[in-house]
Amino acid sequence: MKAAVYYETGSPDVLRYEDVPDPVCHPQGVVIRVEAVSIEGGDTLNRGGGQMAGSPHIVGYQAAGEIIEVGAEVAHLKVGQKVVTVNAFGSHAELRAVPARNAWPIPDGFDIRKAAAIPVPFGTAHECLFGAGHLKAGETVLVQAGAGAVGLAAIQLAKKAGATVLASASSDERLERLKAFGMDHGINYRRDDLVEQVMKLTGGKGVDLVVDPVGGATLQGSLGALGYRGRISLVGNAGREPMKVDVSSLMGGNRSLTGVFLGAEIMTDRVHDMIQDLIDQAARGELEVVIDSTFPLAEADKAHAYIEGRQAVGRVLLIP
């Protein structure tokens, strides 16, 4: 099969499009013919300097396609079924082997490209809002990096839950696009002071919950935006900056900061069922999956470079 691989970590140009051995189906797993790869934030971080499972390494958490082989111990999936899969690596390829537990059926008629972009972004947003964030109707949420895939998912899910939704983005144009997904107030962090704007919009109270997939210096703004008993769900380091922040304000306001990593619980019944429910909601038209652009698998280097240029609104896909 063909795959986008690298022999060492670094900038997007370390990616090579090469022939590699076909994957082997585990007795408790499935093999899919990949139709769409959703490039996740962790994929670019891994390529930039993460651990490699082998050499060459096939990066990638998430991909959707058609099952072409089913392990002998798998009873709930079948050849020909369309599924979206998540695993630690291996998405950037024409074929992919994963544990059957890590494959979610795609409802008939639902766009497989949209399905490919659901489990990690929407599952992460749901966990940030409800699993770690304990969001309730009537509360106010700030979604940092609202134009990213996690941000877009969090905006929709928070609004659906009855929250007032604030979001940050790098331009007025990107913020304008977020209104259609449920954003009530937008903050251009490149032009305006985020904390000042949050306090102005909340009458000086601050927000009840912040979803922060950026970290670094952005986390300090998230801390400053919190109201009394406010919570932060920290779910990434998209900014790739050191986490050097002053957390002393947590104590005086009885505030909390919780780290979120969906992968730690993705094998649990709770998270597995939650992801299937999100896929089903999207298939019914209750949630919108935003695809910014697609690239051929052979141009994975260009796709990674495009993402790191912070131009995308939503997910970027690779198509074998």
| Interval 5-55: pLDDT, tens | 999 999 999 999 999 999 999 999 999 999 999 999 999 999 999 999 999
**Domain locations in the chain?**
2-117+289-318, 121-263
- The structure tokens 């969906």 sit at 262
pLDDT of residue 217: 86
Are 162 and 185 in contact by the 8 Å Cβ rule? The answer is no
Tell the burial category of 48 from Cβ atoms under 10 Å away from its Cβ (0-12, 13-18, 19+).
Answer: middle
Are 314 and 156 in contact by the 8 Å Cβ rule? The answer is no
Token pair recorded at residue 107: 């409802």
More confident position, 312 or 27: 27
pTM for the model: 0.94
Task: Write down the mean pLDDT value for the chain.
Answer: 95
- For residue 240, give Cα distances in angstroms to 73, 142, 150, 217: 41, 21, 17, 10
Alpha carbon distance 170, 212 (integer Å): 15
Lowest mean pLDDT segment, chosen from 80-89, 165-174, 185-194, 238-247:
238-247
277: Cβ contacts below 8 Å, ≥ 6 apart: none
Assign domain 2-117+289-318 one CATH number from 3.30.450.40, 2.40.50.100, 1.10.486.10, 3.90.180.10.
3.90.180.10
What is the distance in angstroms between the CA of the first residue and the CA of the last residue of the chain?
10
Please determine, for residue 81, whether its predicted confidence score (pLDDT) is greater than 70.
Answer: yes
Beta strands in the chain (DSSP E): 2-6, 16-19, 29-38, 57-58, 62-70, 82-86, 95-99, 103-105, 140-143, 164-169, 185-188, 207-212, 226-234, 256-259, 291-296, 315-319
Token pair recorded at residue 289: 């999956």
Are 104 and 83 in contact by the 8 Å Cβ rule? The answer is yes
Look up the CATH number of domain 121-263: 3.40.50.720
Average pLDDT over residues 280-297: 97
